[in-house]
Amino acid sequence: MTRIDDTFARLKSEGRKAFVAYVMAGDPDLETSTEIVKGLPGAGVDIIELGQPFTDPMADGSTIQKAGQRALAGGQTLDKTLGIARALRETDQTTPIVMMGYYNPIFSRGVDRFLAEAAEAGIDGLIVVDLPPEEDAELCLPAQAAGIDFIRLATPTTDDRRLPRVLQNTSGFVYYVSINGITGSAEAQADTVGPEVARIKRATDLPIIVGFGIRSPGTAKAIAEVADGAVVGSAIVSQIADGKPVSEVLDFVRTLAEGAHSA
């Protein structure tokens, strides 16, 4: 059982859905980013997605891209991202941390070295958007052997023929992308997401968490009502980009979490 498994088991026993928050490590700077991450559990976040900035973020919309650019310009590195995880673990041993990003920084570090360092830092899961299931031997299987969940994305174009391959080695949860396209490009609609979540649930016992296009407490609630939880990223990153104080960012996150938890 990983922290992710434990979290979903607890939420199920409480009759609640999960709220997952994404922030870009190092945005707008390392100190502020660390403070935000450490404040997320107290704002109602059940799972933290910690973005690793990358120079060619092909799946991200402009909001996340700019966050990554700010972080890289400020000197954010993979070591510093792992340092943020370690900082959270000083006071929180239960909230799962999922690192989300691209394969190049991991490949450059070396898979075995990266996985050892990630496990030591308290990383519980990985979402690596540019590694398809055909490349599971590259990172997915070694990660799971190291006790780190490998979370796969399913999309509106993942048909019944492709779905079993996507789910084959997925662990922790399935991240369903509610819309076609990049992050932040449209609003998620529960009436279209619900049937897709139901379709995926017929093929797996893993929790299904829905992300992309969720910007408000109302949408977080509507999506959580048809799934096992909701992810918000761009809307939170926008607050950071606007220069809001950490307390205001966390207050906004709290409203989103309350929305998802009220489902």
What domains can you pick out in the chain, each with its CATH number? 3-258 (3.20.20.70)
Catalytic residue among 5, 27, 46, 49: 49
Please give the model's pTM, rounded to 2 decimal places. 0.96
CB neighbours of residue 16 within 10 Å: 17
Range 186-195 contact pairs with CB under 8 angstroms and sequence separation of 24 or more? 186/212, 186/213, 187/213, 187/214, 187/215, 187/219, 188/212, 188/213, 188/214, 188/219, 188/223, 190/219, 190/222, 190/223, 190/225, 190/226, 193/223, 193/226, 193/227, 194/226, 194/227
Give the per-residue pLDDT at 188: 80
Q: Does the structure show a pLDDT above 80 at 179?
A: no
Active site residue 117: no
Q: Does the structure show a pLDDT above 60 at 184?
A: no
Model confidence over 31-63: pLDDT tens digits? 999 999 999 999 999 999 999 999 988 878 899
CA atoms within 13 A on the CB side of 36: 30
Classified as helix, coil or strand, 107 is: helix
Catalytic residue among 46, 60, 124, 228: 60
Active site residue 49: yes
Buried/exposed 58-71: b ≥16 CB within 10 Å, e otherwise:
ebbbebbbbbbebb
